[in-house]
Amino acid sequence: MSDLRKRILKGVVAVLAGALLFFNIPEAKTRVHAVTISMNGDDNGMIKNKDREGAYVILLENLKALKKKQLSASQIKQLDDIMYDANVYIANTEMTVEQLESYISTVESRFSAVASGNVPDASKFLFVANNTMTTSAKYSQPVTVTLSVVNLDQAPVTDVVITPSVDTSMSKWPFEILTASDARMIDSLQPAKSIEQSVGLAKQVTWNFMVSSEAKTGVYPLTFHAQYYRGSAVEECDLKTYIKITGKSSSGKLLEEEQKADDAAKSATPRIIIKGFKTYPEEVYAGDTFRLTITVENTSTSTAVSNIQFDLKAAQEGEKQENSYEAFLPTSGSNTIYVSRIDAGETADLEIEMFARADLTQKPYVIDLNMEYEDTKHNPYKASNSVSIPVRQAARVDTGDLEITPSEANVGDQVNVMFPIYNKGKTTLYNVSVSFDSASFDGGNAFLGQVEPGATGNVDVMLNAVAATEDDGTVVAHISYEDEAGKVTLIEKPMNIFVTDASFSEGMGGEIDENGDGIMDGFDYDGDGVIDEYYEQQGSKAPGWLIILIAVLVTAAVIVVIIIIVKKNKKKKMEAALAELADDEDGI
């Protein structure tokens, strides 16, 4: 951007700011005054579900007020999309009360920008970062206000000029007006793909103000106007932050008159809002039935509502219009609930049993609640709210056939074990690992990592034979994985592998005589394990305890030899049978 172009831009900004100040020209953008709800958080300052519900009500009231204007269908869709994204973000993000208040301000800025039609796409804006803390100040004292500005567009923006939206009304601008223009400039802001990433890319601008001696006690919204270049196009938006002012006791409180006006409006127009909702079970899985309970409130302080009809409509899923369907279906076949009356300031619980379609992906789904009702004078009203229900997909894991090479082993050998792990579900498996449990083997641990839906993870490990098998030869493979919520699941896959101690039979001799009997250390055994008359040949008689010891050792050795002999005999018989069969075929 040339120096001349920068000077022209700064001059335009200064002229506009001066005109607003000295000629008391109203702001070009109409701001919607949101309802005020106290947010306290827990002992650590982190928000609770009640704070989330309050944030939802604030944004919903702001949205409803904006929709009363003459907006295009495109603007209404953009507003609804922003509300949906904000609802999901607030419901699933842990943050402090200050960060929530800052985020509400960010969303309200996006609402206002769409409603004013200043930008072609509501998602392309500058915002005040979530880590921008609310400033506190006292009357007649100086204060520093800092904005941490982030760019959530997909492209960088340059030559950002930010000016405070000064107003002569003390309820809108609690500072002394000292200069005609107080602009700040940021050369460029690089894009951030998420709120978390934006923290490192944010840039700060600072103003020094003097709090007016007539400022009232309360929380003031401070609006700053930003003008910037995205590519070659000039765009603009508003940034908002808040400041807590402590005024003189004689000056009063900022919200007293506004609260009176809000109470009068509530009394005149009964409104039904969603106060909260819950599901049973708490976690909703695709393919399961769940009970949804929505708590609604009549916000009027004096007027009851009656003949209330609630229609629930779940989000439409499907790539094409002709293939779309509702994510949730009522099990009773009807999605309409009727309530005869809700008194002023009272609540009512709406309950409905619904079925989550089995093919839903794991994400939040919106249910719109459309309402029609009457007041005590039979005046008709319509309203709509929505809730967002996260749906989970149950993991489906299976394993394939085993490949064990060799199927039997001696102590000291290695055995190769291979088998596949199939992810048959629609959710990703994380931190997939395999370990083995056996008294005869060690080693074989494997880490497969992430297995996508429909994919296969292959286990290919080597087990070390460390001891002879003394049981049924069972070896258990333990397969562990985590779902997207971090929940760990463990499944088992048993297998049979036998280990023999070759050194034992070799140490006992391991020879076979011409009759098929075993000869070990000079002793000859027949197939029944009877000891030959060795000691008689030596001209002496062995003591009884030695005979018993030898008999026990020999019996164990004979069992091993018998197994080897039986296998060899079977092999010889099979070879003989095959040879005989071959001779018969030759003789034919």
CATH number at 441 reads: 2.60.40.10
pLDDT digits (tens, 9 = 90+) for 450-463: 998 889 999 999 99
Distance, C-alpha 122 to centroid of its chain:
25
User: Does residue 507 sit within a domain?
Assistant: yes
Same domain, 312 and 385: yes
- Looking at mean pLDDT, say which of 86-100, 166-180, 346-360 comes out highest: 346-360
Tell me the pLDDT of the chain averaged across its residues. Answer: 76
Same domain, 369 and 406: no
**Three-state secondary structure call for residue 581:** helix
**Three-state secondary structure call for residue 195:** helix
Whether the per-residue pLDDT at 261 is higher than 70: the answer is no
Query: Nearest CA to 179 among 159, 206, 209?
Result: 209
Q: At 33, is the pLDDT very low, low, confident or very high (cuts 50, 70, 90)?
A: very low
Distance, C-alpha 532 to centroid of its chain:
76
For residue 330, list its beta bridge partners.
354
3 state SS for 84-127: HHHHHHHHHCCCEHHHHHHHHHHHHHHHHHHHHCCCCCCCCCEE
Lowest average pLDDT, out of 264-273, 370-379, 482-491, goes to 264-273
So what's the pLDDT on residue 581?
A: 57
Same domain, 373 and 408: no
Whether the per-residue pLDDT at 166 is higher than 70: the answer is yes
User: Does residue 161 sit within a domain?
Assistant: no
Same domain, 550 and 465: no
User: Does residue 251 sit within a domain?
Assistant: no
User: Does residue 440 sit within a domain?
Assistant: yes
Same domain, 479 and 558: no
User: Does residue 136 sit within a domain?
Assistant: no
Number of domains making up the chain:
4
CB 157 within 8 A of CB 228: yes
Same domain, 515 and 447: no
Q: Which amino acid is at 51?
A: D
Query: Nearest CA to 484 among 574, 391, 570?
Result: 391
Q: Decide which of 500, 518, 541 is a domain's last residue.
A: 500
pLDDT digits (tens, 9 = 90+) for 283-308: 888 888 999 999 999 988 888 898 99
Whether the per-residue pLDDT at 122 is higher than 80: the answer is no
Structural tokens at position 254: 């900022």
Instruction: Count the alpha carbons within 13 Å of 280 in the hemisphere toward its beta carbon.
Output: 6
**In CATH, what number is assigned to the domain containing residue 105?**
1.20.81
Same domain, 463 and 525: no
d(CA 78, CA 247): 39
Whether the per-residue pLDDT at 586 is higher than 60: the answer is no
Whether the per-residue pLDDT at 408 is higher than 50: the answer is yes
d(CA 577, CA 536): 43
Alpha helices in 247-386 (DSSP H): 256-268
Q: Decide which of 354, 373, 391 is a domain's last residue.
A: 391
Same domain, 379 and 406: no
Q: At 478, is the pLDDT very low, low, confident or very high (cuts 50, 70, 90)?
A: very high
Whether the per-residue pLDDT at 421 is higher than 90: the answer is yes
Whether the per-residue pLDDT at 420 is higher than 90: the answer is yes
So what's the pLDDT on residue 229?
A: 82
Structural tokens at position 331: 């099990």
Q: At 81, is the pLDDT very low, low, confident or very high (cuts 50, 70, 90)?
A: confident
Whether the per-residue pLDDT at 496 is higher than 70: the answer is yes
Q: At 522, is the pLDDT very low, low, confident or very high (cuts 50, 70, 90)?
A: very low
Same domain, 484 and 557: no
CB 434 within 8 A of CB 463: no
So what's the pLDDT on residue 254?
A: 77
Average pLDDT (465-469) is 89
User: Does residue 197 sit within a domain?
Assistant: no
Query: Nearest CA to 176 among 144, 145, 142?
Result: 142
pLDDT digits (tens, 9 = 90+) for 435-449: 999 888 988 899 999
d(CA 266, CA 346): 13
CB 427 within 8 A of CB 452: no
Average pLDDT (272-276) is 88
Q: At 45, is the pLDDT very low, low, confident or very high (cuts 50, 70, 90)?
A: confident
| Class of residue 515 by CB neighbours under 10 A (exposed 0-12, middle 13-18, buried 19+) | exposed
Same domain, 509 and 496: no
Same domain, 370 and 474: no
Average pLDDT (363-379) is 87
Whether the per-residue pLDDT at 77 is higher than 60: the answer is yes
The sheet with strand 518-520 has its strands ordered as: 511-512, 518-520, 523-525
Q: At 559, is the pLDDT very low, low, confident or very high (cuts 50, 70, 90)?
A: confident
Structural tokens at position 82: 């922003």
List phi, psi (to 5°) of 512: -125, 130
Higher-scoring residue by pLDDT: 554, 45? 45
Structural tokens at position 138: 């006292």
- Domain that includes residue 519, residue range: 502-581
So what's the pLDDT on residue 575?
A: 64
pLDDT digits (tens, 9 = 90+) for 204-254: 899 999 999 988 888 888 888 888 887 767 788 888 888 889 988 888 887
Give the whole-number percent of the chain exceeding pLDDT 90.
Answer: 13
Same domain, 485 and 419: yes
User: Does residue 354 sit within a domain?
Assistant: yes
CB 370 within 8 A of CB 308: no
Average pLDDT (266-279) is 80
User: What is the distance in angstroms between the CA of the first residue and the CA of the last residue of the chain?
Assistant: 102
Residue given tokens 């007649």 in the structure block: 140
Q: Decide which of 391, 410, 443 is a domain's last residue.
A: 391
| C-alpha dihedral (510, 512, 516, 517), degrees to nearest 10 | -60
User: Does residue 250 sit within a domain?
Assistant: no
Higher-scoring residue by pLDDT: 154, 530? 154
Lowest average pLDDT, out of 273-282, 292-301, 572-581, goes to 572-581
Average pLDDT (77-99) is 80
Higher-scoring residue by pLDDT: 505, 78? 78
Contacts by 116-119 with C-beta closer than 8 Å and gap 24+?
116/28, 116/29, 116/30, 117/75, 118/29, 118/235, 118/236, 118/237, 119/235, 119/236, 119/237
- Measured over the CA atoms of residue 19, residue 24, residue 26 and residue 27, the dihedral's sign is positive
d(CA 553, CA 571): 28
Average pLDDT (326-330) is 83
So what's the pLDDT on residue 201?
A: 84
So what's the pLDDT on residue 15?
A: 37
